[in-house]
A and B are shown apart, each in its own frame.
Chain A
Amino acid sequence: MSLMSQTRSVIAMNVRSIPQRLWMSLATVVSIALVVAVLLGFLSLANGFNQTLKGSGAPDVAIVLREGSEAELNSTLSREQVDLLGRGPGVKIGADGRPIVSGELLMVVDGIKKSSRTKANMPLRGVGANGLLVRKQAKISQGRMFSPGSNEIVVGAGLLREFEGFELGKSVRFGAQTWRVVGVFEAPGTVFESELWADAPVVQSLFKRGTSFQTARVVLTSPTALPAFVAYAKSEPRLQLSAQSELDYYAAQAERSGLLIRYFGWPLGIIMAIGALAGALNTMYASVSSRAAEIATLRVIGFSGFSAFMGTMVEALVLSAIGALLGVTICAIGFNGLSASTLGAGFTQVAFRVQIGPEIIGQAVTLALIIGLVGGIFPGWRAARQKPLLALAA
């Protein structure tokens, strides 16, 4: 007995009979495609966002926050502490003979989004002269850096794309102050591209922060210098601060945003998948009952219950695979590479590109195939148990 050849023939018959149940089968394909597209949409958003966050951190830059602060916005450091950090172990010395430390503050200001013409938050970062030195990825691409003590700002290329009125040479108002855009900087694939930078002392006085900062970024001689520096920041009595590598800091932020997507995207995907599964089961049970006489006839002739099971199973998998393909295509054409922005840490906008990757395609396709598998097993079981009675075959 050739199990292979009989199973192959039954599978071929099942698949070729799909057009007889065209509308039902199409509905199943479309519902599976929607599940895949929605899930893939969420996952690729998360993916793009995570890539941007992860790309923002360097392993040899320490970011220092107040003990207990998780994000830059709710941290605070004094000017003295920032100076003291520069005297820590393993801190890199710049061309000017001074440690490369950048005391920074992050403020939230309003801007108008080009896409929706609505107000949205933008991060305004006060940085010192070392602002570019602590970020190797960042460089001025148009105009120049702001000059110290002036009301000049430079804008990230991502923010320039998303918000109105930040073209080079334009003036913008935040609060009582008017600022002039003197430069555009690029920091590809990082959150910094979605920021505005101005001179830290000017930001301090405008936002009435005295001489205090929120964070400090410290360039170390190498990533291996980190543990000693972390210990210093923690144990030095005048500091008692929490330091970590910038890489770890953004990885943790990515982790948190990943949780958000997991708690939203996956449940939505799974609820939709359950709906699609109900449809798939319905379609496959209909397939089995519309083919009851055919299945019984094949069983009478001597075909095995296994071949009847496999025919139904593979039909379900074919439908789900077509659905998966359609879903991936919709997502790839519709979203991939699209630039999006979302709330980053501290409710400011972070611009990033939606990224479909093999890993998340794998996840969405797996979900589709699980729908096909479960949608095929039970109807397939019914097909396999179809009795080979002549009366049924008639």
Chain B
Amino acid sequence: MSALIQLNNVTKNYRRGKEGIAIFDGLTMSIEKGDFVAIMGPSGSGKTTLLNLLGGTDRCDGGQIIFDGERIDGYSEGQLAAWRARSVGFIFQFYNLMPVLTAAQNVELPLMLTKLPAKKRRDNVATALKIVELSDRAKHKPKELSGGQQQRVAIARAIVSDPKLLLCDEPTGDLDRNTANDILRTLQQLNRELGKTIIMVTHDPEAARFANRTLHLDKGSFAEVTA
């Protein structure tokens, strides 16, 4: 397998007042195409920061970030946004759906960044909703859906433009055990059947078991844990 994402010697600092705090100081890692990786670690260890760097929503202060052979660390804001729209699907702990839009309209959002005609957009939305088994809720607003259903809509939104990479920040952190397992099985299915590369941050060891491997993040570096 070849690497979908390669981090070389990445540094990331945050400023807090006068002093800078180093989150990553020379982080090197690689994620293979088609992998499903769980990332665990204590609060404040930099898990979300890592997802921001991998997903091009934040910039590193040094080193290289290579996605599918392309360096993205030098991209401009606009290039990054376009790259995100093409290549990355994001799944959040609190679903982050637009309350005024229906499920279908929420799923359609990423397609608004493409030149697809309306008919094609509708077809893709229908396909994505079918994959997450929510076709019958297409016209519902988020507040008319359960937490698990909302997260399914969010997953449909993340895959509708067929990105290679899915980034999930505690996707089951707000759900009960059974619902969480349903969501995790869906992610597993997306990984196995559609070949999506998935990186999932989680606190929950049971959730991590759905991944192929688990990386433990502590003090800015990784230790691999074999489940």
Q: Is A389 an interface residue (CB 8 A)?
A: yes
- Given the interface contacts A2-B112, A302-B84, A304-B78, does A17 sit within 8 Å of B92 by beta carbon? no
When C-beta atoms are compared, the residue in chain A nearest to B96 turns out to be: A297
Interfacial residues of chain B within 11-41, with CB under 8 A of chain A in the complex:
none
- Cβ contact of A297, chosen from B51, B78, B92, B114, cutoff 8 A: B92
State A304–B157 Cα separation when bound (angstroms). Answer: 18
| CB contact between A303 and one of B81, B96, B167 (< 8 Å): that residue | B81
Is B1 close to A, CB under 8 A?
no
Per the bound structure, the CA–CA distance linking A13 and B93 in Å amounts to 22
Known: A2-B113, A389-B58, A390-B90. 19 other contacts (CB 8 A): A1-B82, A1-B113, A2-B115, A5-B113, A6-B112, A9-B109, A16-B100, A294-B98, A297-B96, A297-B98, A300-B84, A302-B81, A302-B85, A302-B110, A302-B113, A387-B57, A388-B57, A394-B93, A394-B94
Residue of chain A at shortest CB distance from B174: A394
Q: Could you give 27 example pairs across A and B, Cβ below 8 Å?
A: A2-B114, A5-B113, A6-B112, A6-B113, A13-B98, A17-B100, A20-B99, A293-B94, A294-B99, A297-B92, A301-B84, A301-B109, A302-B84, A302-B86, A302-B110, A303-B81, A303-B109, A303-B113, A387-B57, A390-B52, A390-B55, A390-B90, A390-B92, A390-B167, A390-B169, A391-B52, A394-B92
Within A366-394, which residues are at the interface with B (CB < 8 Å)?
A: 387-391, 393-394
Instruction: Please state if A304 and B99 are interface contacts (CB–CB under 8 Å).
Output: no
Closest 7 CB pairs of A and B: A302-B85, A297-B96, A16-B100, A302-B84, A9-B112, A388-B57, A302-B81
Give Cα distance in the complex from A9 to B81, angstroms.
17
B101 on the interface (CB 8 Å rule)? yes
Interface size class of A (residues with CB under 8 A): 20 to 34
Q: Which of B48, B78, B100, B101 contacts A391 (CB 8 A)?
A: B48
Expressed in whole angstroms, the Cα–Cα distance for A301 and B58 within the complex equals: 13
Q: How far is the CB of B220 from chain A (nearest CB, A)?
A: 17
B112 with A393: CB separation less than 8 A: no
Cα distance A389–B90 when bound, in Å? 11
> For window 301-326 of chain A, which residues contact chain B by CB distance below 8 Å?
301-305
CA distance A1 to B85 in the complex (A): 9
> A302–B82 contact, CB under 8 A?
yes
| Distance from B186 Cβ to chain A, minimum over Cβ atoms (Å) | 20
- A residues near B114, Cβ cutoff 8 Å: 1-2
B55 touches A300 (CB 8 A): yes
Q: Nearest A residue to B89 by beta-carbon distance? A: A301
A97 to B93, CA, bound (A): 101
Inter-chain contact B99/A17, CB cutoff 8 Å:
yes
Q: Does A73 contact B (CB under 8 A)?
A: no
Q: Is the interface of A mostly helix, strand, loop or mixed?
A: helix
Does any Cβ of B come within 8 Å of A66's Cβ? no
Chain A residues contacting B85 (CB-CB under 8 Å) are 1, 301-302
Rounded to whole angstroms, the CA-CA distance of A378 and B73 in the bound complex is 31
Give min CB distance, B75 to chain A, whole Å.
12
**Which single residue of chain A is at the shortest CB-CB distance from B94?**
A394
CB contacts (< 8 Å) of A17 on chain B: these are 99-100
Query: Which residues of chain A from 1 to 45 have a CB within 8 Å of any chain B CB?
Result: 1-2, 5-6, 8-9, 13, 16-17, 20
Q: Judge whether A299 is part of the interface by a CB distance below 8 angstroms.
A: yes
Instruction: Give the nearest-CB partner of A298 in chain B.
Output: B109
Would you give the shortest CB distance from A276 to chain B, in whole angstroms? 26
Chain B residues in 8 Å Cβ range of A8:
112
Measured between beta carbons, the chain A residues less than 8 angstroms from B109 are 9, 298, 301, 303
Q: Is the CB of A300 within 8 A of B57?
A: yes
Name A18's closest neighbour in chain B (CB-CB).
B100
What residues of chain A lie closer than 8 Å to B92, measured between beta carbons? 297, 390, 393-394
Closest to B49 in A: A391
A367 to B52, CA, bound (A): 44
Please give me the residue from chain A that is nearest to B111 by CB atom: A5
Q: How far is the CA of A75 from the CA of B175 in the complex (A)?
A: 91
- The 8 Å CB contact of A390, one of B51, B98, B110, is B51
Nearest neighbor of A4 in chain B, beta-carbon distance: B112
Residue of A nearest to B108 (CB): A9
List residues of chain A with CB within 8 A of the CB of B169: 390, 394
Question: Which of A9, A300, A390 sits near B48, CB closer than 8 Å?
Answer: A390
Q: In the complex, what distance in Å separates the CA atom of A270 from the CA atom of B94? A: 45
Instruction: For B94, list chain A residues within 8 Å (CB).
Output: 293, 394
Question: Per-residue CB proximity of B159-193 to A under 8 Å, as 1/0?
Answer: 00000000101000000000000000000000000
Shortest CB–CB separation between residue B81 and chain A, in angstroms? Answer: 5
B95 CB to nearest chain A CB (Å): 9
A:128-170 near B, CB below 8 Å: none
**Cβ–Cβ contact B81 & A304, under 8 A:** yes
Residues of B within 8 A of A6 (CB): 112-113
How many angstroms between the C-alpha atoms of A6 and B82 in the bound complex? 12
B100 — which chain A residues lie within 8 A by C-beta? 13, 16-17, 20
The answer to whether B110 and A301 touch across the interface, beta carbons within 8 angstroms, is yes
- Chain A residue numbers with a CB within 8 Å of B90 are 300-301, 390, 393
B101 pairs with A293, CB closer than 8 A:
no
Q: For residue A302, which residues in chain B have a CB less than 8 angstroms away from its CB? A: 81-82, 84-86, 110, 113
